[in-house]
Chains A and B, each alone.
Chain A
C-alpha cells in the first residue's frame, strides 16, 4: 500500500527500519513524527505475529522430536524405520513406523477430494450458469453454511445418525455386490458403521463448501464478453462452459482442489470419532484405520512421559504440517482473491 504521510521524499524507503531512525540522530525534515512512529511500531509487531507463530510451531515440534529427523541420529533416532509400517509403542523394543497413518490420511482424503470436486463442479456450474439468479442466491448460502458447521458437530451427527445407515444398509449392500473387487471383499463390515466409507462421506461434506465456493468464484470471474461470444457463435451453455469458461478458470479450479485436499487431509476431530482407534492398515474398504491427525489426537495422553513416543508424534505433526502448508501455499498462489476466504473460513 502507498505510504500514508506526506513526509518522506520521492524514492526514499517509505518505512525506514528501526535502526535508521535511532533517537541519537538529530531530527530532520523528513523524519516521521513521534506519534507516527509509535503507530508504526504498535502495528508492526502484531503484523509479525503470524509468522512468529508459524516459526515457533516448527521450532517447538523440532525440539519435541529431539531433532531426530534432521541428522537421523540422537536419543530418539528412528532412522528409515520411521517410514515403515509397524507402529508398536508398547512393544519392546518399540517400533515407530508412521506409514500406516500416511496411507490412512491419503486413503480418506483422496476419495473425498474426488467426490467433492465432482459435486462441487456440478453445483458451481448449476449455480453460475443454469439456475436463475434469485434461485442460486437462495441456495448458495446453504452450501457455504456447510463450511461453518464445526467438525465435532459433524462427527456426533455422523456417528449417531448416519453411521448406523452405513453399517446396516450401505456397507452390506456394497459387500454383497462388489466383494469380487479387490479390497471390497474379506471380513464383513461392522454393524456400527464406523470406518473408511463414513469417513470419506464426512470429509466429502467438509471439503464440499470449499471446492464449490472456489470453483463458483472462478466461474463467476470469467469475463462476460467471453461468455457472450461463446453463446453468440452458436454454442450451447454447456459447450460454452466446457470450451470457454472452465479452461479460463482452470487456475481457480486447481486451487479449489489444493485447498479442499488441505482441509480433508488435516481433518482431526470428525475422523477421530468416525475412523476408530485401530493403528493398522485396513483389511478392506469397510474397516477402521487411522490418519496422522487422529493418531496425534488420540495418543498424546498415553504418550505422556515417554520421550520416544512424544518424539514420534511430533514428527508426525511435522509431516502433517509440511503437507498442509505445501498444499495451502500452492492453492493460494493460484488465486489472488480474498472474497472466498471470508465466507468459507478457510
Chain B
C-alpha cells in the first residue's frame, strides 16, 4: 500500500499527495461506497412484509372488529355469527394454565441450573431445554395427542391443550430465568453469603429482585410464543360452543379460528372471525415484544450499574 501511495504522489496531482489515485484503488473505494449504499436496501425485504402484514390484517379486521363481537359469548353468535368471545375466553384459560406451568417449571429449573447444579449437570439441563425448544411444534402436538388425548383419555380438552402448550413454552421461561440468575454479579452473591444469608434467603431476598425483570421478559416471550402457536392446539383441542367449565371440556383457541376460517369465502362469518383473531393475536404479540424490548433495555442498564 505504501508503494502505491508514493507512486501516486509522483504524478503531479492537484489533490492530496497522500491519496492513492490508481484505478484499482478508485475501484476499491467506489465499490465499498456503493455496497454501503445498496446493502441497506435489503432492509426493505424485511420491512415491506411486516408493514404490509400489519396493514392488511388491520384493514381486513377493522370493519368486523367491535366490542360486541369480542365480548359476545353466546353459542349462536360464535357458531353462525362473527363473534369471537368464546375463543377469547378459551385462549385466556389455556394461556393462564400453560403460563402457570411454564413459569413454575422454568423459574425453579433456572434456579437449579444457575445456583445448585454442578457445571456439568447444568450443561446437560441447558442442552435438554435447547432440544425441547428445537422440537417442531407439530411433534409436540403429536405427543400431546397420544399422551393426553388418547392415553390419559382426556379427549380434545382444555387441559390437554394447556399442558401441550406449557411444554412448548417451558424452554423459554427456563432459559431466561437461568440466564438471569447466572448473570448476577459475583460480588453480590459473595456479599450476601458472606454476611450469613442462607441459600434460600439469598435467592428470595437478593437474587430474585435483581433477576426479576429478566425473568419477566422470559415470561412475556413465552406468552408471545404460546399465544401464536397453532399446531399443538389444533392437535389437542377442539372448538367448543360452551365456555370451558371443567379441565376436560373442549376449548376454543384463537389461532384455531384462523386455521379453520382462512379459506372461507369473502364476506363469510368464518373469515371475519379469522381476521379478528389474527388481529388480536398480532396486537398481543407485538405488544409483548415491545414490552420485552423495553424491559430488557432497562434491565441491561441496571445490571451495568450493579457491576460498578
When each residue 31-67 of chain B gets 1 if its CB lies under 8 Å from chain A and 0 otherwise, what string results? 1100110011011011101101100110010000000
A contact residues around B135 at 8 Å (CB): 54, 57, 321, 324-325
Q: Does A237 contact B (CB under 8 A)?
A: yes
A contact residues around B154 at 8 Å (CB): none
Chain A contributes a number of interface residues (CB within 8 A of B) equal to: 99
Within 8 A of B (CB), among A22-78: 33, 35-36, 39-40, 42-51, 53-54, 56-57, 60-61, 63-64
Contact of A53 among B132, B134, B275 (CB under 8 A): B132
What are 16 inter-chain pairs, A to B, with CB distance below 8 A?
A1-B116, A4-B116, A4-B202, A36-B200, A44-B112, A46-B112, A49-B109, A60-B142, A145-B289, A148-B285, A153-B281, A161-B56, A205-B49, A297-B231, A317-B142, A342-B296
- Residues of A at the B interface (CB closer than 8 Å) are 1-6, 13-15, 33, 35-36, 39-40, 42-51, 53-54, 56-57, 60-61, 63-64, 119, 122-123, 125-126, 129-131, 135, 139, 141-146, 148-157, 159-161, 205, 208-209, 212, 233-234, 236-239, 262, 265-266, 268-269, 272-273, 293, 296-297, 300, 313-314, 317, 320-321, 324-325, 327-329, 332, 338, 341-343, 345-346
Q: Does B228 contact A (CB under 8 A)?
A: yes
A contact residues around B182 at 8 Å (CB): 1
Min Cβ gap A89→B in Å is 17
When each residue 85-113 of chain B gets 1 if its CB lies under 8 Å from chain A and 0 otherwise, what string results? 00000000000000000001111110111
Q: Does B174 contact A (CB under 8 A)?
A: yes
Task: Tell me the dominant secondary structure on chain A's binding face.
Answer: helix
A contact residues around B28 at 8 Å (CB): 236, 238-239
Q: Decide: B235 and A300 in contact? CB cutoff 8 A.
A: yes
Min Cβ gap B113→A in Å is 6
Q: Does B198 contact A (CB under 8 A)?
A: yes
Contact of A239 among B32, B50, B104, B224 (CB under 8 A): B32
Q: Decide: A237 and B36 in contact? CB cutoff 8 A.
A: yes
B contact residues around A48 at 8 Å (CB): 125
Q: Decide: A47 and B199 in contact? CB cutoff 8 A.
A: no
When each residue 148-177 of chain B gets 1 if its CB lies under 8 Å from chain A and 0 otherwise, what string results? 000100000000000000010011101110
Contact of B116 among A15, A156, A313 (CB under 8 A): A15
Within 8 A of A (CB), among B101-137: 104-109, 111-119, 121-122, 124-125, 127-137
Sorted from nearest, which 8 A-B pairs have the closest CB atoms? A150-B228, A328-B134, A266-B136, A51-B128, A43-B112, A236-B32, A126-B39, A46-B108
Q: Does B282 contact A (CB under 8 A)?
A: yes
Q: Decide: A4 and B199 in contact? CB cutoff 8 A.
A: yes
Q: Decide: A149 and B262 in contact? CB cutoff 8 A.
A: no
Q: How far is the CA of A1 from the CA of B121 in the complex (A)?
A: 10
Chain B contributes a number of interface residues (CB within 8 A of A) equal to: 106
Q: Decide: B46 and A313 in contact? CB cutoff 8 A.
A: no
Q: Decide: B115 and A1 in contact? CB cutoff 8 A.
A: yes
A52 to chain B: closest residue by CB: B128
- Residues of B at the A interface (CB closer than 8 Å) are 1, 28-29, 31-32, 35-36, 39-40, 42-43, 45-47, 49-50, 52-53, 56-57, 60, 104-109, 111-119, 121-122, 124-125, 127-143, 145-147, 151, 167, 170-172, 174-176, 179, 182, 189, 193, 198-200, 202-203, 217-218, 221, 224-225, 227-231, 234-235, 255, 258-259, 262-263, 274-275, 278, 281-282, 285-286, 288-289, 292-293, 296
Contact of A47 among B31, B109, B138, B228 (CB under 8 A): B109
B204 to chain A: closest residue by CB: A39
Question: A53-B170, A146-B50, A320-B136 are known contacts; what are 11 more A-B pairs with Cβ within 8 Å?
Answer: A4-B189, A4-B199, A35-B198, A54-B135, A61-B143, A156-B258, A156-B275, A239-B32, A296-B142, A321-B136, A345-B172
